[in-house]
Amino acid sequence: MKTLVIGYGNTLRGDDGVGYRLAEMVETLALEGVEGYPCHQLTPELAADLTRVDRVIFVDATSPQNPPSPLRLERLRGGSSPNLGMHHAHPAQILALAETLYGHSPLAYALLLPSIHMGYGESLSPIAQVGLEQGLGLLQTLLLQPTASLLPD
């Protein structure tokens, strides 16, 4: 089973870059059949990358909350229309675009990591740092599972 881990966010805006950093860490793991793909935002071109995988995991920071939210893993499904915005896209739009253009819809998940500070700066808050470490541990466990689905439908 081939899996693509797409981590996205702005690494110059504190905790917003936590998804990007997790995808970088996944790249260094060198797990068979797993590719990490760090990017600053989701773009339509990613739909083509989904055609070569069986499963995709989108990793992003949650919106800042007080108290911070826990890690969340959610099953995603493509939207009915790949209606993309001008500056950024949602994972469901990328999934819909892959289905519309290429007839391929991999199993898809969102892994949301806690955040609290999205101000200017390259460092993560302690909350996001813990979420990053927990997210990496969760991903390592999930990526080694031989089953296609990570969550019950």
Report the residue count for the chain: 153
User: How far from each other are the two terminal CA atoms of the chain, in whole angstroms?
Assistant: 19
Residue 20: per-residue pLDDT:
98
Contact of 47 with 150, CB cutoff 8 Å: no
> Looking at this protein, which amino acid is placed at residue 30?
A
Tokens 């998804």: give the residue. 19
**Sequence ranges of the domains in the chain:** 3-143
Residue 81: per-residue pLDDT:
57
Question: Beta-carbon neighbour count of residue 122 at 10 Å?
Answer: 10
Residues of the chain with pLDDT under 70: 66, 79-88, 146-153
Residue 3: per-residue pLDDT:
95
Residue 77: per-residue pLDDT:
82
In CATH terms, the fold of domain 3-143 is Rossmann fold (3.40.50)
What residue ranges in the chain does DSSP mark as E strands?
A: 3-8, 34-39, 55-61, 72-76, 107-113
Round to whole Å and give the CA distance between 21 and 18.
5
Round to whole Å and give the CA distance between 115 and 39.
18
Round to whole Å and give the CA distance between 6 and 116.
21
Round to whole Å and give the CA distance between 27 and 97.
25
Tokens 């896209």: give the residue. 89
Q: Write the CA distances from 20 to 33, 67, 101, 146, integer angstroms.
A: 19, 23, 26, 25
User: What tokens does 118 get?
Assistant: 């999205």
